[in-house]
Amino acid sequence: MSAAQAADGREEESMSTRKKGAAAGKPARIETKPRKLTHEAWLKEAADHFGADPMGWKFVCPSCGHVASVADWRAAGATEGEVAFSCVGRHLPNAKNIGERPGPCNYAGGGLFKLNPVTVSLPNGHESDFFEFAPAEGGAA
């Protein structure tokens, strides 16, 4: 997919997320559908939803639903490779176990459970799986 094709897509197709109702005081679960993007299209989508500064880009953990920004991972001491790949809870005290809500939790994207729904084709020819973008603030995704 070229940048022009990504730019031409409708917003409802760009982020395949929807919220399910919250129960018993737990945060709403954000349902995601697996999808595949080029690195260029992924970067464009992030900038379109959150602005040009990557520190403000937000992602939702597919295990616990915790939303964290790139700045949150950095503040917690995570490496660049852990951002949107493993829950920020892995670097925080008292992280919940995988699947416990509300998070953050100890989910690792490269572990036994591979829940990361967004596959990004990287410029080096490899692919990597990431968390879905969080809904953009001030509106639905």
Read off the pLDDT of residues 52-85 as tens digits, 9 standing for 90 and up: 999 999 999 999 999 999 999 999 999 999 999 9
Residue of 116, 136, 135, 141 whose CA lies nearest to 127? 116
Phi, psi of 119 (to 5 degrees): -95, 125
Band (50; pLDDT cuts 50, 70, 90): very high
* Integer Cα distance of 39 and 68 in angstroms: 20
Task: Look up residue 102 and give its amino acid.
Answer: P
Phi-psi region of 118 (alpha: psi -120 to 50; beta: other; left: phi over 0): beta
Name residue 119's beta-bridge partners. 36, 129
Q: What is the pLDDT of residue 31?
A: 59
**Does residue 49 have a pLDDT over 90?**
yes
Residues 14-44: tens digit of each pLDDT: 344 444 444 444 445 555 689 999 999 999 9
Classify the phi-psi angles of 65: left when phi > 0, otherwise alpha if psi is within -120 to 50, otherwise beta. left
Measured in degrees and rounded to the nearest 5, phi and psi for residue 114 equal: -100, 90
**The pair of three-digit structure tokens given for residue 102, joined into one six-digit string:** 């509300």
